[in-house]
Structure 1
Amino acid sequence: MEACIRIESLAFGGSGVGRLGGKVVFVAGAVPGDEVRIRPVREKKHFMEAEILEVLVPSPDRRVPPCPVFGQCGGCQWQSLPYARQVFWKERIFADFLLRQVGVESQVMGSLLAAPNEWAYRSRVQFKCYQSPAGFVMGFYRRGSHFVIDVDHCPIAAAAINQALGLFRDWLSQSPCPEAIPQVDLAVDDEGQVAAIVHCLAADPRPLAAYLAPRVGEQGLALYVQTGRKHTLTQVQGPGRLCIHPLDASPLRLGYPVGGFAQVNLAQNRRLVAELLQAVGSPTGLRVLDLFCGMGNFSLPLAAAGAAVVGVEDFAPAIVQAEDNSLANGLTARFLCRPARQALTQDLLRERFDLVVLDPPRSGAREVIPELLRMRPERIVYISCDPATLARDLKPLVHNGYQVRGARGIDLFPQTYHLESLTCLHAC
């Protein structure tokens, strides 16, 4: 059943939102103000999802996406929307989650912290690979499929990554086993070091490693080969870690293992850390528990500012790196390798913390919330990459004696619907 509708807003997830016969309609690729002809692809009782057949009247906000594969590649959703309007909608979507679902007062909502660069910001990219009859293809999966779209440049990737993309496409097309390479991960750090992880399904990856090693060596790149899960990662050439600088005008330097986690927008990560420190105020003498601490992205700036920090993370290599980072920067912090959901049921439940910092994965921190309510720290700062799980986790806190004193979205992901946020809660 085809129909014509007008797009009124945007939803978290990236789709445009309209209405048809009393139902909400989510339309991927649509922009607020568009009048579109659609075809439903999935229908439920109260909503439907639809695809665009034709843009009948384009929105005044619609722009021509600069990427030639936009709409095919599954990475970006909002390139057809000017960045100022992306910022407007991200701020509104984040506020709606907290105002409607949690009852947060509008006056505590801060404006979205926009990215200074909407392009060339991404410091880590996974490129899918395929040896086709026409040659070696390196790019991204087509939306909703495993068909690899060939790209020679990604506009949101850092310049160093795009340069490395060209090199690896040439090298791998002539390598001993191009048909056995499903993926290449490229990353660049705050010091310009580029690292590549080449995934290899060949029975013996050594010929590939021997072929690539002198080539990446000439370019000053780090090279790793991975033959299965993460434990099969093998260093071939170059340094064993990458580094970030989480604070402006500070010598603080944090290493993390190649293949490990760091925020993909390094410039905005510094602003996120600065927002945390500003929200905390004067950290001197505060006892801080940092759950999901990783390699110390928040723990060590807080320790450098004078806080007594305990970091908790269940990924052992990240804890080892956090301890190394603490030592290398002359800081004193304690790091524990254990799941966050168990951290407060052991010895930490007997300790007093003034502040708990949470930076959970997209799935949120649901299992930690009951333990936080038993501990009852004076303040909680929740850093989230998903407003839906954030709102879910905030509800039991605000219903049991905590008040949201500040919340702000931070855009680490221009051209996409994703956003980071920082929410501050105080015990009443």
Structure 2
Amino acid sequence: MPNFQKFETFDKLTTVPCPYAPDCGGCQHIGVPYGDQAQNKINDLSGLFTAASVAFPQPLKVLSAGPAHLRDRLDFSLQDGRLGLYRTDRHEILDIEVCAQLSPALQEWLSDFRKIQWPFKRGSFRLRVGPAGQRGVWIDLANIDIKTLLDEQSILYSLQQQSFVEIGQRRKVPVWTGNEFKLRDPEHHVWFQSWMNDTPVNLYCQVASFTQPSHKANKVICDVIYDWVKRYKAQRLIEFGSGIGNLTFPALAGAESILACEIDDLSLQGLERSLNELPASLSHLKDRVTIYRGDFQKKLTQDFSQFDGVLANPPRSGLMGFLNPLQNLAPEQRPEFFIYMSCYPESMARDLVTLQECGYRMQEAFIVDQFPQTDHYEVLGLLQREKA
């Protein structure tokens, strides 16, 4: 039995207080009972699917890790000494000291981080707490402000005593040479964690890398993927949008082989390292994964008929040209099942229309509520090819 928890086990009447409501633009539904929030998301997704004429199992179900304090990754902006999110009433940063979205460890990191007096007016920061509690910060600034930070030295030195630091869009790492800071190439460290059933798997990436926002909520997602792949006893799986491997590993627990496709080279470097450093009890599985780098949205060279199942986690734009080769196959040549994960249900609905035309029907669908108090949610859909 999978370990994910259905929403019904949580108190639907729970409300989350916030001292910044209604001024903060981060949470659209703060103070709304949690049950109402879940029902609104069900209604929203049902409406999207219905409008697109996508058949879906009813009622849609919500999986949850809780109504608050989930996030282990935070993105805040700096503006004239204020560190926080934009206000609802004007384009101005609201200074935020505490946030109900943050895990206790991330809240503590934010409180310490706020003590810094920055020598510039604008910038953005990502704070992250890793699975072992380690702290990281990604600092994104204008080039002139990066130079100011490197020359000032004391702030960077202080930050590095309590966290791992990355700077700029290229995720460079500041290194002290003895008399100055120099920026060196990105480094891969364990900033996130996947799961193979109940065994945690360290994921190597950067502080700035894309990951799910919450360690706790991510376990919910991994449990669903593991359960679905294992159910089909898939021998050959192709994955699109593998990233650093968050879905690769729970799928690997139930598949004989996986072709992992991704366009971002840094992400694939992280996936390769994570495979090479699997726990000893799982190390024999690394040879079951083949890594392919390419833009799967534009050109796909793989033959779908060689696979039993598909696992897709595309960006907001959806699958785009990825589905073209699937349409060119005879129905019996198409993979038996298709797992689709999306944080943007609008593009997912468009892709599901194409999948329906290819003979797939949705067997299960979950809303994973890892963004409580907001409009956002993740969708997991399991589709099966209809028998001829």
TM bin (shorter chain): 0.7 to 0.9
Contact 1:224 1:236 (C-alpha < 8 Å) held by counterparts: no
The aligned residue for residue 211 of structure 1 is 154
Q: Equivalents in 2 of 1:350, 1:77: separation in Å?
A: 41
Q: Equivalents in 1 of 2:271, 2:171: separation in Å?
A: 22
Out of 316, 323, 335, which is 1:362 matched to? 316
Q: Equivalents in 2 of 1:295, 1:192: separation in Å?
A: 20
Equivalent positions of 1:241-256 (< 5 A) are 241-247=189-195, 249-256=198-205
Residue 141 (str. 1) matches residue 86 (str. 2) = yes
The aligned residue for residue 238 of structure 2 is 289
Contact 1:222 1:239 (C-alpha < 8 Å) held by counterparts: no
- Structure 1: gaps (5+ residues): 1-60
Out of 217, 225, 229, which is 2:167 matched to? 225
Contact 1:283 1:306 (C-alpha < 8 Å) held by counterparts: no
Greater length-normalized contact order (CA 8 Å, ≥ 6 residues apart): 2
Q: Which amino acid aligns with 2:137?
A: A
Contact 1:299 1:310 (C-alpha < 8 Å) held by counterparts: no
Contact 1:408 1:421 (C-alpha < 8 Å) held by counterparts: yes
Equivalent positions of 1:328-339 (< 5 A) are 328-329=277-278, 330=283, 331-332=286-287, 333-339=289-295
Displacement of 1:321 = 0.8
Q: Equivalents in 1 of 2:200, 2:237: separation in Å?
A: 22
Secondary structure of 1:398's match?
Answer: helix
Contact 1:62 1:80 (C-alpha < 8 Å) held by counterparts: no
% identical equivalent positions: 24
The aligned residue for residue 180 of structure 2 is none
The aligned residue for residue 387 of structure 1 is 345
Displacement of 1:64 = 7.5
Secondary structure of 1:302's match?
Answer: helix
RMSD over equivalenced CA pairs, Å: 2.5
Secondary structure of 2:243's match?
Answer: coil
Contact 1:122 1:157 (C-alpha < 8 Å) held by counterparts: yes
Contact 1:189 1:243 (C-alpha < 8 Å) held by counterparts: yes
Displacement of 1:414 = 0.5
TM-score w.r.t. length of structure 2? 0.83
- Rg larger for: 1
The aligned residue for residue 192 of structure 1 is 133
| Cα distance change of structure 1 residues 100 and 192 upon mapping to structure 2, 3 Å threshold | same
- Structure 2: gaps (5+ residues): 1-11, 177-185
Secondary structure of 1:340's match?
Answer: coil
Q: Equivalents in 2 of 1:369, 1:308: separation in Å?
A: 21
| Cα distance change of structure 1 residues 262 and 413 upon mapping to structure 2, 3 Å threshold | same
Contact 1:283 1:302 (C-alpha < 8 Å) held by counterparts: no
Q: Equivalents in 2 of 1:284, 1:235: separation in Å?
A: 47
Out of 38, 62, 67, which is 1:87 matched to? 38
Equivalent positions of 1:404-415 (< 5 A) are 404-415=362-373
| Cα distance change of structure 1 residues 169 and 106 upon mapping to structure 2, 3 Å threshold | closer
Contact 1:225 1:236 (C-alpha < 8 Å) held by counterparts: no
The aligned residue for residue 120 of structure 2 is 178
The aligned residue for residue 327 of structure 2 is 373
| Cα distance change of structure 1 residues 418 and 302 upon mapping to structure 2, 3 Å threshold | same
Q: Which amino acid aligns with 2:198?
A: A
Q: Which amino acid aligns with 2:224?
A: E
Displacement of 1:268 = 1.5
Q: Equivalents in 1 of 2:226, 2:13: separation in Å?
A: 37
TM-score w.r.t. length of structure 1? 0.75
Give the total of aligned pairs.
Answer: 351
Equivalent positions of 1:281-320 (< 5 A) are 281-282=230-231, 286-320=235-269
Contact 2:217 2:370 (C-alpha < 8 Å) held by counterparts: yes
The aligned residue for residue 68 of structure 1 is 19
| Cα distance change of structure 1 residues 358 and 166 upon mapping to structure 2, 3 Å threshold | same
| Cα distance change of structure 1 residues 191 and 372 upon mapping to structure 2, 3 Å threshold | farther
Out of 100, 113, 117, which is 1:155 matched to? 100
| Cα distance change of structure 1 residues 189 and 144 upon mapping to structure 2, 3 Å threshold | farther
Secondary structure of 1:341's match?
Answer: coil
Contact 2:234 2:309 (C-alpha < 8 Å) held by counterparts: no
| Cα distance change of structure 1 residues 64 and 91 upon mapping to structure 2, 3 Å threshold | closer
Displacement of 1:399 = 2.3
Q: Equivalents in 2 of 1:324, 1:195: separation in Å?
A: 19
Displacement of 1:71 = 2.7
